Amino acid sequence: LRKLKQKPIELKIKYSHILLILLLWCGLWVLTGITYYFLIISVHPFPLLNLPVTIGIFAIAGVSQFLTPSGIGVLEGMLTVLLGLYFPIPVAILIALLVRVWKTVSELVCVAITVKF
């Protein structure tokens, strides 16, 4: 910015704002985990006591997507590995594929809503 003779940019972000954003993201991960729990129990029985496990699995798999370009296959691979600890591998693969379909359809719905308005 000095070379362009511009004033330095000052960000006035309070720690309380950062904490609020962090809490909102955690809430989003919890809600996402709950929705995926319902997806899982529609395919295979899974005790409600494992709900925190489900939330953690989907949070870890979601974060791992950011480590690769476009996250192609990473989400499904991570879900298969992590869900494979609790389900037979074919069931874990089925759940991972259903999650991909669910995410794709929900993104397409959001795009359609955006284009319409």
Q: What is the pLDDT of residues 47-81, one digit of tens each?
A: 999 999 999 999 998 888 777 776 678 888 999 99
For residue 52, give the 3-state DSSP assignment. helix
Please enumerate in sequence order all residues whose Cβ is within 8 A of that of 49, keeping only pairs 6 or more positions apart, or say none.
none
Q: What pLDDT was estimated at residue 71?
A: 66
pTM of the predicted protein model: 0.78
Backbone torsions φ then ψ of 99, nearest 5 degrees: -65, -40
Closest C-alpha among 41, 49, 45, 40 to residue 96: 40
- Crossing angle for the helix pair 51-64 and 74-83, to the nearest 10 degrees: 150
Question: What CA–CA distance (Å, rounded) separates 65 from 45?
Answer: 27
Q: Which residue has the tokens 């991960």?
A: 29
- Which of the residues in the chain have pLDDT under 70? 1, 70-71
Q: What pLDDT was estimated at residue 7?
A: 83
Please enumerate in sequence order all residues whose Cβ is within 8 A of that of 60, keeping only pairs 6 or more positions apart, or say none.
78, 82
Residue ranges of E strands in 9-104: none
